[in-house]
Amino acid sequence: MQHQIESVLNELGLIIESRKGGNSESSYVARLFNKGEDTILKKVGEECTEVVIAAKGGHPYQIIYETADLLFHVMVMLSHYNLSLDDIARELARREGMSGLEEKASRNDSPLDGKSI
């Protein structure tokens, strides 16, 4: 299962990267990149809302479907900022073994303090 998650996400990440500068007529991802930041962020926002609605509806497949849409659009957003799920995995690994409460208390020392990316 671990392998399946990694290979599916890696493959999708490569496909998304390959769509930069591509043709909006033949590729949805290229269309998002060509439309730019505001369109990509709007899609992420919409998909978040759709996940919440699906979760409240309680149908497992609907939750899976909408979460897949959200994850896909988050990957497009990360790619727009030249980031990837590798960067997110690194951050999650850094947090491993630290309770959420400790982590919250340590946020004052966050590398993001006083900086924007």
Ligand X SMILES: N=c1c2ncn([C@@H]3O[C@H](COP(=O)(O)OP(=O)(O)OP(=O)(O)O)[C@@H](O)[C@H]3O)c2ncn1[C@@H]1O[C@H](COP(=O)(O)O)[C@@H](O)[C@H]1O
Return the amino acid letter for 38: D
- Residue from 34, 44, 69, 74 binding ligand X (CB under 6 A): 69
d(CA 18, CA 53): 32
Q: Candidates 9, 72, 74, 77: give the one binding ligand X (CB under 6 A).
A: 72
By CB under 6 A, residue 67 contacts ligand X = no
Residue closer to ligand X by CB (options 12, 74) is 12
In the complex, least distance from residue 69 CB atom to ligand X, rounded to whole angstroms: 5
Degrees, nearest 5: CA angle 37-43-46: 140
Residues 1-40: x where in contact with ligand X by CB under 6 A, - otherwise, as a string: -----------x--x---x-------xxxx----------
| Distances 108 to 8, 27, 89, 99, 113 between C-alpha atoms, Å | 35, 42, 21, 16, 7
Q: Number of residues in contact with ligand X, rule: CB under 6 A? A: 10
In the complex, least distance from residue 115 CB atom to ligand X, rounded to whole angstroms: 32
User: Where is 26: in which H helix or E strand?
Assistant: none
CA distance 45 to 69: 11
Q: Write out the residues near ligand X by the rule CB under 6 A.
A: 12, 15, 19, 27-30, 46, 69, 72
